[in-house]
Structure 1
Amino acid sequence: MGHVSEAALIEQVVDRLSAAYPDAPRDDVAEIVVAAHNRFQHSTIREFVPLFVERRARAELSRSGSLLVWSS
């Protein structure tokens, strides 16, 4: 099985979350994912970083989405 780079996996996270939150601009989703990824910058074990990034970013997007609903 081939090795997929962490950068490629993070880009896949952006793709999945952009599809899951179509009302959020892709640039905003990417910014949230990058911010979540930066939190794991010093982690020595990288294997699960994309999973943790996706969970953190999804939670942030869910909070942002609920704020948008309440403000409209």
Structure 2
Amino acid sequence: MADKAREEDAIRGVMERLKNAFSAAHGPAEVEAAVAKTHASFTDRPVREFVPMLVERKARSILNNHPADEA
């Protein structure tokens, strides 16, 4: 249970970092959607230690490669 809470805290941190980094190009809802979609793609992965880092990388790539209206 502690691992799940740690992962959730890390994902909240990812969300805040990306909201700050992409505030000029994407609204908070777009960033949240990108992070949530990406995080959901790792649901069935048994090793959770690197999930927040992978989520941040993939969500950042999505946001970098899509204009605001497509994210």
> What band does the TM-score fall into relative to the shorter chain?
0.7 to 0.9
Give 5+ residue unaligned stretches, structure 2. Answer: none
Count residues in correspondence.
Answer: 64
Percent of aligned pairs sharing the same letter:
33
| 2:50 paired residue number | 48
CA deviation map 1:2-54 (0-9, x unaligned): x7611111010010001111121111101100000011000100000000000
Query: Which residue does the alignment assign to 1:13?
Result: 14
SS of residue in 1 equivalent to 2:20: helix
Output the TM-score relative to the length of structure 2: 0.83
Counterpart Cα distance in 2 of 1:29 and 1:48: 20
Higher relative contact order (CA 8 A, sep 6+): 2
> What is the identity, as a one-letter code, of the residue corresponding to 2:44?
H
Which stretches of structure 1, 4 residues or longer, exceed 6 Å deviation after superposition? none
